Amino acid sequence: MATLAPPQSRSLAPACTPGRSFVRDLGPNWYAAVMGTAILATAGAAVPADVPGVHAGRVTAWALALLMLAALLAARAVHWVRHTDQARRHLLDPAVAPFYGCLSMALLAVGGGTLTVGSDIVGARAATVVDAVLWSAGTVTGLAAAAGIPYLMVTRHRIERGSASPVWLLPVVAPMVSAALGPALVGRLPAGQWREAMLLGCYAMFGLSLLATLTILPLILSRLVHEGPLPTALTPALFLVLGPLGQSVTATGNLADAADGVVPEPYAAAMGAFAVLYGVPVMGFALLWLAFAGAMVVRAARRGMPFAMTWWAFTFPVGTCVTGAAGLARHTGLHAFGWLAMALYLCLLMAWAVAAVRTTRGVVSGTLLAAPRR
């Protein structure tokens, strides 16, 4: 579910302070760049097409995401150790705190890519171990964010009426990513109770995230209808709504694939039917929201929408719709879903290229790592 309104992106041309550590203003929103890169690998593996060079591109995207995750984890650790005051300030800032959900999803996305794509490089056993570690760490982190960030919003944050944002979805969608990627590990667990517990635990996280999303979406729609469009720099955040939609469709498909032999009939067959009966309507709504969000972005672009880290919202959420459409193609046999997955993947590639180039330019110039102007 992917990156938005970090403190450092509030100004278009922040000034760097000599001697100031760039790590001090490195917020959790930067994990969205890792998510957006990792989804290139997993979504590319899901697309039902055999195009020359695609495999090499998937491996490159996975390796790049892995390096980005390692570097960012180290930088964020330094941030917490050397700038504890700023880290606490981020947690108490309602505009920044929801981005802690991105940490979980970055861990999960890279772990899933390791098992899906990286196994050809590091071997199946090593890939399984890495994915198990990252999935476990990402799931624990995601559940903590899903419970902890709303708690802070109620007890510590001062939130103005009518200020609901799509960013609020980030903490609660993280368990949905666990539910979508966990089924790949089911068959690698001991048969019996272990596999069934893993499968049903993923279903529980699916329900947790889905119901939480359904409570937040009306707030977002109400804010848009009553208060008008988001500020231009934040308009890409509307694409975040696609995250729980596409990821939930992906989750139901992957869970149905893993159910055979794990749970008795008629439950396994029912899970397969649910993947279609749930997935098709939700994919329809996702396409509706994609059209709405795209129109809002075009409107904002005509009004001078500046580049910000919010542009990474064009990547991971769209990638989840790619994997969701590919799953529906697999379960229904309908070629139209395969074509949809390929079309969305092309959009994902273009969005990633633009966000990556602009982010690299901002890092090199120092504008994205500088403190915001006050």
Residue ranges per structural domain of the chain: 21-361
What's the burial of 322, exposed, middle or buried (CB within 10 Å: 0-12/13-18/19+)? buried
pLDDT tens-digit series, residues 87-132 = 899 999 999 999 999 999 999 999 999 999 999 899 999 999 999 9
pLDDT at 370: 67
- In this prediction, residues 251-268 reach a mean pLDDT of 95
pLDDT at 51: 67
Question: Of 50-54, 86-90, 257-261, 264-268, which range is least confident?
Answer: 50-54
Mean pLDDT of the chain: 91
- Whether 335 shows a pLDDT value over 80: the answer reads yes
Rounded (10°) CA dihedral 80, 82, 83, 85:
90
Beta strands in 79-123 (DSSP E): none
**Cβ atoms < 10 Å from Cβ of 257:** 18
pLDDT at 369: 75
Q: Which of 152, 169, 165, 192 is nearest to 32 (CA)?
A: 169
Q: Which of 290, 309, 241, 343 is nearest to 34 (CA)?
A: 309
pLDDT bucket at 3, cuts 50 / 70 / 90: very low
- Whether 278 shows a pLDDT value over 50: the answer reads yes
**Cβ atoms < 10 Å from Cβ of 95:** 20
pLDDT at 328: 98
- In this prediction, residues 171-188 reach a mean pLDDT of 97
Query: Collapsing DSSP states into helix, strand and coil, what is residue 128?
Result: helix
pLDDT at 14: 37
pLDDT at 15: 38
Determine what percent of the chain is predicted with pLDDT higher than 70. Answer: 92
- Whether 177 shows a pLDDT value over 80: the answer reads yes
Q: Report the predicted TM-score, pTM, of the whole model to 2 decimal places.
A: 0.92
Residue 228 DSSP one-character state: -
- In this prediction, residues 16-33 reach a mean pLDDT of 75
What's the farthest any 2 CA atoms get from each other in the chain? Answer: 66
Q: Which of 315, 256, 247 is nearest to 286 (CA)?
A: 247
Cα(335)–Cα(343) distance, integer angstroms: 12
Report yes or no: 323 and 348 within 8 Å, Cβ to Cβ. no
Q: Which residues contact 81 (CB under 8 A, 6 or more apart)?
A: none
pLDDT bucket at 48, cuts 50 / 70 / 90: confident
Domain covering 21-361: architecture: Alpha/alpha barrel (1.50)
pLDDT at 257: 96
From residue 342, give the alpha-carbon distance in Å to each of 18, 49, 113, 127, 324. 47, 8, 18, 26, 12
- In this prediction, residues 177-187 reach a mean pLDDT of 97
Cα(158)–Cα(93) distance, integer angstroms: 8
- Whether 205 shows a pLDDT value over 50: the answer reads yes
Report yes or no: 344 and 60 within 8 Å, Cβ to Cβ. no
pLDDT at 160: 87
Using the CB atoms, write b or e for 172-198: b if 16+ within 10 Å.
Answer: bbbbbbbbbbbbbbbebbeeeeebbeb
pLDDT at 130: 97
pLDDT tens-digit series, residues 137-149 = 999 999 999 999 9
Residue 92 DSSP one-character state: T
- In this prediction, residues 317-329 reach a mean pLDDT of 97
pLDDT bucket at 162, cuts 50 / 70 / 90: confident
Cα(314)–Cα(211) distance, integer angstroms: 24
Quickly tell me which residue has 């719709």 as its tokens. 321
pLDDT at 351: 97
Sequence-separated contacts (24+) of 348-354 with Cβ below 8 Å? 348/39, 348/40, 348/43, 348/315, 348/318, 348/319, 348/322, 349/40, 351/311, 351/314, 351/315, 351/318, 352/36, 352/37, 352/40, 352/314, 352/315, 354/311, 354/314
- Whether 240 shows a pLDDT value over 90: the answer reads yes
pLDDT at 310: 94
How do the residues of the chain divide into helix, strand and coil, expressed in percent and rounded to 5? 80, 0, 20
- In this prediction, residues 13-18 reach a mean pLDDT of 40
Of residues 154 and 19, more confidence is placed in 154
List 95's β-bridge partners, or say none.
none
Report yes or no: 210 and 244 within 8 Å, Cβ to Cβ. yes
- In this prediction, residues 178-184 reach a mean pLDDT of 97
